[in-house]
Amino acid sequence: MEEEDAAADPYLPYDGGGDTIPLQEIPKRGSNYAMSNGGGAPSSTTHLLDFLEEPIPGVGTYDDFHTIDWVREKCKDRERHRKINSKKKESAWEFTKSLYDAWCSGRPDRHRRRLDERPEGGRVSERHVVQPRAVLLDVQRDHLRRAGQVPSVEELGRADPGAGGGPRLVHHELLHVHLLGSVVRLPRRLSGQGVRPIKTILSGFIIRGYLGKWTLMIKTITLVLAVASGLSLGKEGPLVHVACCCGNIFSYLFPKYSKNEAKKREVLSAASAAGVSVAFGAPIGGVLFSLEEVSYYFPLKTLWRSFFAALVAAFVLRSINPFGNSRLVLFYVEYHTPWYLFELIPFILLGVFGGLWGAFFIRANIAWCRRRKSTRFGKYPVLEVILVAAITAVVAFPNPYTRQNTSELIKELFTDCGPLESSQLCQYRSQMNGSKSFSDNPNRPAGPGVYAAMWQLCLALIFKIIMTIFTFGLKVPSGLFIPSMAIGAIAGRIVGIAMEQLAYYHHDWFLFKEWCEVGADCITPGLYAMVGAAACLGGVTRMTVSLVVIVFELTGGLEYIVPLMAAVMTSKWVGDAFGREGIYEAHIRLNGYPFLDAKEEFTHTTLAREVMRPRRSDPPLAVLTQDDLTVEELQATINETSYNGFPVIVSKESQRLVGFALRRDITIAIENARRKQEGIMLNSRVYFTQHAPTLPADSPRPLKLRSILDMSPFTVTDHTPMEIVVDIFRKLGLRQCLVTHNGRLLGIITKKDILRHMAQMANQDPESIMFN
Amino acid sequence: MEEEDAAADPYLPYDGGGDTIPLQEIPKRGSNYAMSNGGGAPSSTTHLLDFLEEPIPGVGTYDDFHTIDWVREKCKDRERHRKINSKKKESAWEFTKSLYDAWCSGRPDRHRRRLDERPEGGRVSERHVVQPRAVLLDVQRDHLRRAGQVPSVEELGRADPGAGGGPRLVHHELLHVHLLGSVVRLPRRLSGQGVRPIKTILSGFIIRGYLGKWTLMIKTITLVLAVASGLSLGKEGPLVHVACCCGNIFSYLFPKYSKNEAKKREVLSAASAAGVSVAFGAPIGGVLFSLEEVSYYFPLKTLWRSFFAALVAAFVLRSINPFGNSRLVLFYVEYHTPWYLFELIPFILLGVFGGLWGAFFIRANIAWCRRRKSTRFGKYPVLEVILVAAITAVVAFPNPYTRQNTSELIKELFTDCGPLESSQLCQYRSQMNGSKSFSDNPNRPAGPGVYAAMWQLCLALIFKIIMTIFTFGLKVPSGLFIPSMAIGAIAGRIVGIAMEQLAYYHHDWFLFKEWCEVGADCITPGLYAMVGAAACLGGVTRMTVSLVVIVFELTGGLEYIVPLMAAVMTSKWVGDAFGREGIYEAHIRLNGYPFLDAKEEFTHTTLAREVMRPRRSDPPLAVLTQDDLTVEELQATINETSYNGFPVIVSKESQRLVGFALRRDITIAIENARRKQEGIMLNSRVYFTQHAPTLPADSPRPLKLRSILDMSPFTVTDHTPMEIVVDIFRKLGLRQCLVTHNGRLLGIITKKDILRHMAQMANQDPESIMFN
C-alpha cells in the first residue's frame, strides 16, 4: 500500500488483481465513491484522522500582486456549495443559512474567516493598515524608482527567475518606504485609470485596495470636477471604475464573494456592465461592453447576472430621471426619411475615417503617454493638468461648437433640421425667405448660417482631435466615448451637409436621380453624424456588436442598423490594418500589466521546453521529495529560493511528479504546526504521502503536509506547442503549469514566463512586462 | 542521446551540463529555436530526412459520428497559416495566394486534398455515394433497430468500452442495411430538427451529410409548406438549419474551412446568426442568439464574423424588402404614453406566467415526444402530421384570432388602439358613440367588441397552448418563436385590457390616482402584449440578453427596456425553479446526442480515477510501446480492440507516457507504408522514437511512426476532481484525456465516458447517451 516509489518499481499491474493500483485511498471530500476496499490491503481506518483534521487557516489565499488560479478558486466555491447543501438537511437553522447563501450572500467559511480576523496573532491591525497603503504601491512605485529608492522590476526579476511574483521581503520594504509621506499624493496619482486596470484585475491579477473606499470617494468627486471642467474627456471609464469599487465593497458584505477571487471577479464583471449602463442609460450595451471589451472570464451565468445588474442600474437611473424627461435615451433621434442604398458609400467612407482616426489616435496617444512616463515631464502631473485645462479653455471658448458641453454638441449634431429647429446648422435659404413653411419646401440650399457652421465645425474637429490626444491619459479620471463620438459626429455632419448640397445642386446625377425625387429631401445630415460617431468610437475601441447596441440605445435609431453596422465593420477593418490593439490593450501594454490578451493569437512555433524554466544555464529546478525531507531542509529550500511554489516528486532518482505545493501554503502550514502540534522539531520528517514513512523509533513526530498538496497540478509535455499552452492558460486561467518529458518532471511554466516569451517573440523588451 | 528508457534510469541531471535532457531534437516546424547543439552528442543531421518527409495523407481526419478534437484542429489551422505566411515572400504567385487565403478562402492543403480525391485507390466514387447515404443513418437507425435489423447502441457500446465511437465494420454494415429501400423516407424523417442538432454539431460532433444540399433543398421547400399550413409553428429553427446548410456548402468552396472541422464550426456559428437575422430581420439579436443559445466555441473573432454575416443577411433582406415597406422591423410599435412604476407589478406577473408556461410546455412537450419515440405511435409520422394539421384547421377556423396568420395576430395584439384602428380589440364605447374624436375622449370603457374579443382571446390562448405542445417535434420543420410569442402576446393583451378597465373603473385607487390623471389614458394594452410575448419566449428558451435584443429589433420599443428586462428575468427565474433546461437542451437530451452542456455545472465530488477506463474488472488498457513492437503485433492490437486511439509508453515496466496515436492514423500509416516503402514486412519493427532502435543486422527495415504520434497528449492525475476534468473538456474541446498517477499511465477518459458518468450521477440511464 505504500505509495512511495523506488526507481526500479516492478511493472504496475493492470490484470484485474490490481492490488497495487492506488485506488484504495478514500477521497477526501466524502464523495459517493463506493468501491469496495478489497485486495487484502490493511484497512485505512488508522488514517481516518486525516479528513477530520481541520484545514490549515490561510492556505489558499493570495499575496498582493499575484495572479489568481481560476481553476482552484472555482473548485473552492463548488466545495463551499456542497458543504452548505449537505448541511442544509441537518437543521432549520442551517436551511435558513443555505437560503441566505442562495440569496447571493453566503455562509462564511469559518476557518478562512478566522485567518483574516486574527492571522498568526496580532497581525490584525497590520492588515487593516496595509490595505490602504497597498493602494499607494502601484501609484508610487515608478515615482520612487526614479528617485533611486526602490529596486526596479528588472532587479526584482533577476531575484526571481522561475515562478513569477514579488519576493516577500522586498515587498514589505517597499510598503515601508511608501508610507513615508505619500498619503497626500494619493488622489493625484490614482487618477486617470479607468477601464484598463479593471481589465487587468478581471483577468486574474490581485491589486489590493485598488477598488477600495478611498478610490471610490476620490474618483466620484474628481469625476464630477473633471467632467465639469470642459476638458475633452468622457465619463464611461471612471464610472466603470466607480461601479467596480462599489461591487468590490459590496462583495465584502458577502463572504461567498469576498473570500473567493474568481467569484469576486464575476461581481466585478457585472459591476462594469452596470457602470456603462448608468454612464449612457444603455443597459444592454453595458452588458455587451463588459462581455466584448472588459471581461476575461465570462460564463453565461455572469451574462445573466450582469444583465440583472444593468437592469437595476437602468431602473434606478430612470427613477431618478437625471435628464428631466421620461426617456432613458440620451440622444434620442427621429428621422423622417429612410436611407438609400447609394448612401452606403459615404457611410463606408465615414467608417474609413473612423478607422484612420482610431489608429492615429492610439499611436499618437501612446507615444505621448510614453514620453510622459519616460521623461522628466511626467513628474509634474498637476502642472500638466492645469496647462491642458487652460489651453482647452482658451482655445475652446471662441468657437460655439467647442464652447458648449460635448454631450449637447453631439445631440445637436444628431438632430435633423425640423421646422422648429433654430440652430445655426439649420439656417437653410428656404427658411430664411420666411414665406413658406418648412414642409412645403424641402429644397434645402445652404444659407450663410450653414456655411459658417461648416467652418466652425472643421475648426472644432481639428481642436477636438488634438486635445483628446493630450487629454486621455492625464492624471484625471477620463473616458473616451464622448470625445470620440463628438469627433465622429462632427465629421459625419460635415459629410452629411456636403452630401445634401451635392444632391441639391446635382439632382440630375444618375445616383440622385434614381433615389431622390426632385423637390424631395433625401439626405439626412443627422444620420451621417450618428454613423460617424459610431465609426470613430469603433476605430478607437475596436468594439463591434456592443458598440452598435450602445448607439441604438443612445439614439433609438433602430431603423439604421445596416448603415451603423457597415460603418463600424469598416472602421474596425481599417483600424486593424494599422495595428490590432484597441486603445485599452495599448495602454495595458504601455503600463506593463501582466495581461494575457484573449483576442491576440499566438502564432509562433516554439515548444513548451523552450519557454519553461529552468533554462540551460539556470540552476536546477527547486523540487521537494514526497517523504524524505526534514522540516529544516524544507525551510532551507524555501529561504534560498523565491519561487511561489514547488513541485513535489516521488524521488530525485525517478523525477516522477506527485503534486505541487505553494510557498505561501508551506510557510503557513509549518508555522501552524509549530504553534499547535507538539513534537515538531527541525529534524522532523515532512511527508506528502498518504501514510507516514517508516521511521526509526527515536525520531521526532513527522509532519504531514498532504492537505496542502495540490494533487492535480496541470502538466504538459515538453513537446507541446506554445500555442496550445497559451490557449490552456487563457481558457483555464492557470497560474503555472509543469512540464514533463516521458513522465518525468522537467520544468515549470508560469503565466509571467508566457508573457515574457510573448514579448520576446514580438521583439519587445521582455522586462517591460510587470509594473515598469 | 537515445530517448528510450530503462526502468532504472539514473538521476536525470539538471546541473547545467544537462546532456541527457532531451532538448537536442530539432523542432519539426522550422521554429526560431536556436539552442546550440552542445554537449558532445552526435549531430542529428542523419535524421534530417525526418522533416523533409511528406505527411501521410489522411492522417488527422475524422470518421463519421466521431467527436472532433478542437485543440488539434486549431493547431492545424495555425500551421496552415504559417506555411502560407512563410511562402508568401517566395514569389508573387504565392503572395497572391496568401491574399486569396486572407480574403476568407484559403490555399488548399495539397496532401489533405489528395486524400479526399483518391483515398487508397478508387474510393472516390464511394465517398460521393456515402455522403447522402450517411444522412439516413441518424434518421433511420432507431427505425431499423426497432425492427431488429441493427445492433442497438448498447450492444455497440459493449464492444467499445474505452474510447467511444462506432467500430468501423459495424458502421459499414449499417450503411449497407440502410441503403435498402430507405431513400424515399428521407424527407419524412429528416424534418423536425432545427436548432437542436445544430447545437450538437457545433459542440464538435460529426454527422456527415446532415448539412448537405439535399437537406437544404428539402428543408427549404417543406418550411414554406409547413408555415403556410397554418400549424402552430415558427420558422426560426428551420431557417437556422437552412442557413447552416448554406454555410456548410459554401465552406466546401474554401478548403481553409472545409478541411478543418473547428474552422467549419466558426462558419456554422456565423451562419446560425444569419439565419435568425433573416427570420426576424434582427441581426444583432441573431448574433446574440448564436452566442447565448446555439454556439459552443465562440471566440471574439467569431463574434465579429457573425456580426458581419448577420449584417449582410439583414442588408440583403432589406434590399429584397419582403414586407413591402422600407422597414426591417417586423412588428413596429409606437406607443404614445410612457409606462408607470406600478405597472411593473403586472409586468412581473406576466414574467411569472411566461416562466410557468415555459416549464409546463417543456415538460409536456418532452413527455409527448418521449411517448412518440417509445410507442408504436411514432411509426406513422405522416399520419400524425395530417391528423394534427386537420385538427388545427378545424378548431382554429371559427375563432378569428386563431384563423389569421400568427404573425399578423401578434402585430394586431402589439398595436395600440389609435383613432384609425378598426380592429375589434379597439371597439371602445367612446368610439362607438361616434360623436367625439378619439383624442378628445381618452376614457376607454370597453364596448361589446372588446368583451367579445376577450372571450375569443381566452379560447385562442388555450388552443395555442395545446396545439403548440403537440406540434413542436412533429416531423415537419418547426420553430418555436412565433407560437411562444403569440401565446405571450394573447395573455399580455388580456392582462393589459383588464388593467385598463381596472384603471378606468377604479381611477380613485391610490395606485391609479397617483399616476393616472382622471380622463387620461394611462394603460397601453399593446405594451402588455409585447412584454408577455418576451416573457413566454424567455420561459421556453431561457434566453435573456439575446431575447430582449430580438424583441427590440422586432418592435423598435427601445423605451420599454426596463419592463422587458424585468419580465424576462422573472420568467427565467420562475422557469429555472422547475428545471434548468431550456427546450433545446431538453430535446438534445431526449435524442441522446453527445452534448456536453456548457451551462450545466458539474457539482459532484468524484475523482478522475473513478471515471477513467479501464475499470477494476476490465481488461488492461491497450497501450503501445515506443520501440519494441512489430508491425504484426501492432496490427493484432488494432484488430483485437475497437478503441479510437492508443497511448504510447516508454516500456511496459515503467508505464511512462510518451504520446498518443489514433487508430485511424495508425491504420492509414501502415497501409501507406506498405504501398510506398519497400522492405516493410510483418516482422518490421515499429518505433515512435526520434531515432531507430538498434536492431540485429538481418532484421527488416523498421517503420517510423513518429509523425503520427501526438507528443502532447493531455494528461490529468488520478486525483483530479471530475469538476476540473469536465471544465477542461468543455473549455478546450478535448476528445480524450489520459490519466496518470505519479508520472505513470493509469487510464483514459473520453468525452463519452464523461457524458456517461454525468448521466449516472444524475440517476439517468447512462446508455441513453448516444443515438438511442
Residues A517 and A460 in one domain: yes
Measured CA to CA, the distance from residue A754 to residue A733 in angstroms comes to 13
What's the average model confidence in pLDDT over A160-171?
A: 35
Instruction: Give how far B616 is from chain A: nearest CA, Å.
Output: 6
Query: Are the beta carbons of A606 and B287 separated by less than 8 Å?
Result: no
Closest chain B residue to the Cα of A314, Cα to Cα: B562
Which domain does B38 fall in, by range? 1-52
Show which of residues 735-754 on chain B sit within 8 Å of chain A, judged by CB atoms.
Answer: 740-746
Does A47 fall in a domain? Answer: no
For residue B287, list chain A residues with Cβ-Cβ distance below 8 A.
Answer: 545
CATH of the domain at A758: 3.10.580.20
Q: Would you state the pLDDT for residue A662?
A: 87
For residue B11, list chain A residues with Cβ-Cβ distance below 8 A.
Answer: 652-653, 655
Does A547 fall in a domain? Answer: yes
Query: Are the beta carbons of A727 and B732 separated by less than 8 Å?
Result: yes
Does A412 fall in a domain? Answer: yes
Is the pLDDT reported for residue B471 higher than 80?
yes
Q: Measured between CB atoms, does B293 come within 8 Å of chain A?
A: no
How far, in whole angstroms, is CA B502 from its chain's centroid?
47
Which of A447, A436, A653, A712 has its CA nearest to residue B728? Answer: A712
Q: A557, A591, A625 — which closes off a domain?
A: A591
Query: Are the beta carbons of B307 and A559 separated by less than 8 Å?
Result: no
Instruction: Give how far A574 is from chain B: nearest CA, Å.
Output: 14
Instruction: Give the mutation candidate from B558, B584, B618, B714 for the A interface (greatest A CB count, under 10 A).
Output: B558
Is the pLDDT reported for residue B139 higher than 50?
no
Residues B638 and B533 in one domain: no
Does A626 fall in a domain? Answer: yes
For B427-447, how does the pLDDT look when each residue is reduced to its tens digit (9 = 90+)?
776 544 444 444 444 456 777
Q: Would you state the pLDDT for residue A245?
A: 92
Residues B558 and B634 in one domain: no
Instruction: Give how far B326 is from chain A: nearest CA, Å.
Output: 7
Measured CA to CA, the distance from residue B384 to residue B390 in angstroms comes to 10
For A539-550, how does the pLDDT look when each residue is reduced to its tens digit (9 = 90+)?
998 888 888 888
Q: Where residue B580 falls among pLDDT bands split at 50, 70, 90?
A: confident
For residue A601, list chain B residues with Cβ-Cβ distance below 8 A.
Answer: 78
Closest chain B residue to the Cα of A610, Cα to Cα: B33
Q: Write out the H or E segment, with its range, that includes residue A362.
A: helix A344-374
Instruction: Give how far A356 is from chain B: nearest CA, Å.
Output: 19
Closest chain A residue to the Cα of B616, Cα to Cα: A16
Does A748 fall in a domain? Answer: yes
Q: Measured between CB atoms, does A727 come within 8 Å of chain B?
A: yes
Which of A26, A21, A54, A66 has its CA nearest to residue A39? Answer: A21
Measured CA to CA, the distance from residue A457 to residue B307 in angstroms comes to 33
Instruction: Give how far B566 is from chain A: nearest CA, Å.
Output: 8
Q: Where residue A117 falls among pLDDT bands split at 50, 70, 90?
A: very low
What's the average model confidence in pLDDT over A43-59?
A: 48
Show which of residues 421-460 on chain B sit within 8 Å of chain A, judged by CB atoms.
Answer: none
Instruction: Give the least confident one: A451-465, A642-656, B294-308, B313-327.
Output: B313-327
Q: Would you state the pLDDT for residue B323?
A: 63
For residue A657, list chain B residues with Cβ-Cβ distance below 8 A.
Answer: 742-743
Instruction: Give the least confident one: A591-605, B9-23, B457-471.
Output: B9-23
Instruction: Give how far B277 is from chain A: nearest CA, Å.
Output: 12
What's the average model confidence in pLDDT over A327-341?
A: 72
Residues B242 and B138 in one domain: yes
Measured CA to CA, the distance from residue B752 to residue B509 in angstroms comes to 61
Instruction: Give how far A618 is from chain B: nearest CA, Å.
Output: 7
Instruction: Give the mutation candidate from A277, A303, A306, A561 for the B interface (greatest B CB count, under 10 A).
Output: A561
For A694-731, how does the pLDDT look when each residue is reduced to its tens digit (9 = 90+)?
888 787 888 888 888 888 888 999 888 888 888 888 88
How many structural domains are present in chain B? Answer: 4
Query: Are the beta carbons of B561 and A553 separated by less than 8 Å?
Result: yes
Residues A674 and A533 in one domain: no
Does A503 fall in a domain? Answer: yes
Closest chain B residue to the Cα of A761, Cα to Cα: B32
Query: Are the beta carbons of B300 and A328 separated by less than 8 Å?
Result: no
β-strand partners of B194: none
Q: Would you state the pLDDT for residue B44?
A: 37
More confident residue, B478 or A299: B478
Query: Are the beta carbons of A724 and B311 separated by less than 8 Å?
Result: no
Residues A563 and A651 in one domain: no
Q: A565, A591, A617 — which closes off a domain?
A: A591
Q: Measured between CB atoms, does A1 come within 8 Å of chain B?
A: no
Phi, psi of B741 (to 5 degrees): -135, 125
For residue B617, list chain A residues with Cβ-Cβ distance below 8 A.
Answer: 16
CATH of the domain at A458: 1.10.3080.10
Residues B404 and B547 in one domain: yes
More confident residue, B165 or B345: B345
Residues B273 and B140 in one domain: yes
Residues A531 and A419 in one domain: yes
Q: Would you state the pLDDT for residue B187?
A: 34
Is the pLDDT reported for residue A535 higher than 60?
yes
Query: Are the beta carbons of B717 and A21 separated by less than 8 Å?
Result: no
Q: Would you state the pLDDT for residue B501?
A: 85
Does B555 fall in a domain? Answer: yes
Closest chain B residue to the Cα of A543, Cα to Cα: B304
Give the number of other CB atoms < 10 A from CB of residue B287: 35
Q: Would you state the pLDDT for residue A322?
A: 67
Task: DSSP for B245-279, please give it.
Answer: HHHHHHHTT-HHHHT-HHHHHHHHHHHHHHHHHHH
Sheet holding B703-704, edge to edge: B629-630, B685-687, B703-704
Is the pLDDT reported for residue B160 higher than 80?
no
Q: Where residue A760 falls among pLDDT bands split at 50, 70, 90?
A: confident
* Cβ–Cβ pairs < 8 A, chains A and B: 283
- Percent of chain B at pLDDT exceeding 90: 14
Instruction: Give the least confident one: A169-178, B486-495, B513-522, B677-686.
Output: A169-178
Does A276 fall in a domain? Answer: no
Query: Are the beta carbons of B712 and A717 separated by less than 8 Å?
Result: yes
Is the pLDDT reported for residue A5 higher than 50?
no
Helix (H, G, I), strand (E, B) or coil at B625: strand
Q: Where residue A151 falls among pLDDT bands split at 50, 70, 90?
A: very low
The CA-to-CA distance between both ends of chain B, in Å, stands at 52
Q: A560, A591, A622 — which closes off a domain?
A: A591
Q: Would you state the pLDDT for residue A518?
A: 58
Residues B359 and B486 in one domain: yes
Torsion of CA B242, B244, B248, B253, to 10 degrees: 80
Show which of residues 210-229 on chain B sit within 8 Å of chain A, judged by CB atoms.
Answer: none
Query: Are the beta carbons of A617 and B16 separated by less than 8 Å?
Result: yes
Is the pLDDT reported for residue A745 higher than 60?
yes
Rg, Å, chain A Cα set: 31
For residue B605, list chain A residues with Cβ-Cβ distance below 8 A.
Answer: 27, 29-32, 82
Residues B508 and B624 in one domain: no
Residues B535 and B391 in one domain: yes
Q: Would you state the pLDDT for residue A3?
A: 40
Measured CA to CA, the distance from residue A569 to residue A352 in angstroms comes to 9
Give the number of other CB atoms < 10 A from CB of residue B638: 17
Q: Would you state the pLDDT for residue A421?
A: 64
Show which of residues 72-131 on chain B sit within 8 Å of chain A, judged by CB atoms.
Answer: 74-75, 78, 81-82
Instruction: Give the least confident one: A64-73, B53-62, B276-285, B499-508.
Output: B53-62
For A32-45, how does the pLDDT look when each residue is reduced to its tens digit (9 = 90+)?
333 333 333 333 33
Q: Would you state the pLDDT for residue A119?
A: 32
Among partner residues B311, B610, B718, which is closest to A569 by beta-carbon distance? B311
